[in-house]
Amino acid sequence: MAAKPLATHQMASDKGTGVYDVARYEDGFTCSCKSFEYRQAPCKHIKRIANAHGIPDPKAHLESQSEGGTDGTQANAKAAPDAS
Ligand SMILES: [Zn+2]
């Protein structure tokens, strides 16, 4: 379940070949560019948006940390009612 962004902005890429989506969350920003995906750290698009909002030191909002999740923890609690 991903958090809803407080706001979203579109930034044209420097080369003019596309548009990146910068989303602002309560705890930080995300960007759809490769740089952000790779580094998971505020990219120049995020910094540009953040600066426009008077945020000098933007943070990255990381939401998809589901790798190595806790699947199955609830399955054990549900014992079979009729195991015989
Ligand atoms: Zn970016």
Nearest C-alpha neighbor of 23 from the set 37, 11, 6, 39: 6
pLDDT at 83: 55
pLDDT at 80: 60
Tokens of 42: 């505020």
Position with higher pLDDT, 79 vs 19 = 19
CA distances from 52 to 1, 4, 5, 78 (A): 29, 21, 17, 51
* DSSP code of residue 30: E
- Å from CA of 42 to ligand 1 middle: 7
Q: How many CB atoms lie within 10 A of CB 30?
A: 24
- Å from CA of 68 to ligand 1 middle: 26
Whole-prediction pTM value? 0.70
Residue 34: pLDDT above 80? yes
Q: Tens digit of pLDDT for each residue in 38-82?
A: 999 999 999 999 999 999 999 999 976 555 545 544 444 555 677
């420097």: which residue's tokens?
14
